[in-house]
Structure 1
Amino acid sequence: MTPPVFAHGTLRLYLLALLEEEPRHGYELIQALSDRFGGTYSPSAGTIYPRLAKLEEEGLVTKTADGRKTVYAITDAGRTELDGRRHELDAIEDQVTDSVRRLADGVRAEVGEAMRSLRAELASAAREAKRTATKTRVDPAPAQPDAGRALHEAELALSEFRQAMRTELRSHEARTRLGADTVAILRAGLARTADEVRASLRA
């Protein structure tokens, strides 16, 4: 289970800090949190709005209508609470940074393992294709029912990798926004795999 990014009771304080900077819509608060942590953490509306409602109930924020949107702003009481707990904000930043790092490490490990598996499957398929081609040149036969097996297996490996990674990435995105570093890892891994397969085919 993915550990919570914010410890109990600390998200409300962080929301007050964001509203002290400027009034914001609920979505803007979600976006600000995502931007603050490099896109690796993006809270759901079901996480943010109940806490905003609780802060309003306690008189720490107010909300006003702005067309079809609702704008939240910190109150004097909210600033008073924030001033009394300002020393906690640095600790919260450290806690969140650690949690986000664990999330990113988990995604990086999943992508790395999938890349290693793909490279092994493609390398095996490439060797099989080369053996089949060599055998065909030495001892041609009228029909080779397995001649395209290696190609089929290579294409199957690609399809399975794509589906597995798509599932992993979408599952992660449902929990927290996918970071640019993960995309970079994926691109670099695919480039390395392509180079290794090409080298195997030329060998």
Structure 2
Amino acid sequence: MSPVFSHGSLRLYLLSLLEESPRHGYELIQALTDRFGGTYSPSAGTIYPRLAKLEEEGLVTKTAEGRKTVYAITDAGRAELEARRPELDAIEEEVTDSVRRLADEVRAGVDDAMRTLRAELASAARQAKRNASRVDPRQQAREAGRDVRAAGAAAVREAEAALNEFRQQLRTDLRSEAARGTLPESVVPLLKSELDRVQRAVVEAIGRR
């Protein structure tokens, strides 16, 4: 990625941010990230040495607030900013140009990545097609057989569940009617007849005549 600040510009820009309000290091990093629309985010190793230099020169002070160190501009720092206001205006123009340049670089990078992804997907599709044409027919038959057996096992489990549910519900109904003395004598012959009919129909359906 192209350089963002020319030599000495970041130091002056940090002073301008502290002129707006005291901030701790992370807030300065976040403020710079926001100014660049997220296309540039300075590291702590870039920011803190410059803050230490500004403090040595008496242009900023630092105070501890809990675990955070807050930096504030001094009167000497304001005087330097005022004396170098034209340079600061030029830096603002540099920032605008840098944002535009970085955005172009990011856009170009995304375009390249998308082209690469499309090429890789097309290559993967071609490879999958070639692999499919090389499948052993015997392997396909074995896989098909496994699929049929798996479907059959699933059907048996579903049938057993249906039978168990029917049995439990019917047992509950029969016992309830018997306890009230309202179970007709014709129910049992009817049940046997219907079960025999259902069995014949199922056997016929699966071809076991």
Number of the residue aligned with 2:25: 26
CA–CA distance in 1 between the matches of 2:43 and 2:127? Answer: 48
The alpha-carbon deviation at position 46 of structure 1 amounts to 1.1
Deviations 1:128-176 (A, max 9, x none): 656776x69xxx93347xxxxxxxxxxxxxxxxxxxxxxxxxxxxxxxx
Query: Equivalent residue of 1:98, what SS?
Result: helix
CA–CA distance in 1 between the matches of 2:44 and 2:50? Answer: 10
Number of the residue aligned with 2:101: 102
Query: Identity percentage over the alignment?
Result: 81
Number of the residue aligned with 2:37: 38
CA–CA distance in 2 between the matches of 1:118 and 1:62? Answer: 50
Q: Structure 2: give runs of 5+ residues left out of the alignment.
A: 141-209
Number of the residue aligned with 2:56: 57
Q: Structure 1: give runs of 5+ residues left out of the alignment.
A: 145-203
Q: Residue 48 in 1 paired to residue 47 in 2?
A: yes
CA–CA distance in 2 between the matches of 1:67 and 1:98? Answer: 38
Query: Equivalent residue of 1:71, what SS?
Result: strand
The Cα RMSD (Å) is 2.5
CA–CA distance in 2 between the matches of 1:93 and 1:127? Answer: 51
Structure 1 residues 29 and 128: CA distance shift in structure 2, 3 A: closer
Number of the residue aligned with 1:13: 12
Q: Residue 111 in 1 paired to residue 105 in 2?
A: no
- Name which one, 1 or 2, has greater alpha-carbon Rg: 2
Number of the residue aligned with 1:120: 119
Query: Equivalent residue of 1:64, what SS?
Result: strand
Q: Which gives a bigger RCO, structure 1 or 2 (Cα 8 Å, sep 6+)?
A: 1
Question: Partner amino acid for 2:37?
Answer: G
Q: Residue 79 in 1 paired to residue 75 in 2?
A: no
The alpha-carbon deviation at position 106 of structure 1 amounts to 2.6
CA–CA distance in 2 between the matches of 1:76 and 1:103? Answer: 34
Deviates further, 103-112 or 54-63: 103-112
TM-score of the two chains, using structure 2 as the length reference: 0.59
Structure 1 residues 43 and 121: CA distance shift in structure 2, 3 A: closer
CA–CA distance in 2 between the matches of 1:31 and 1:10? Answer: 18
Deviations 1:19-78 (A, max 9, x none): 111111111111111111111111111111111111111111111111121111111111
Query: Equivalent residue of 1:90, what SS?
Result: helix
CA–CA distance in 2 between the matches of 1:17 and 1:10? Answer: 11
Structure 1 residues 142 and 66: CA distance shift in structure 2, 3 A: same
CA–CA distance in 2 between the matches of 1:125 and 1:55? Answer: 55
Deviations 1:71-128 (A, max 9, x none): 1111111111111111222211221232333333333223222211221332344356
CA–CA distance in 2 between the matches of 1:69 and 1:117? Answer: 44
Question: Partner amino acid for 1:98?
Answer: D
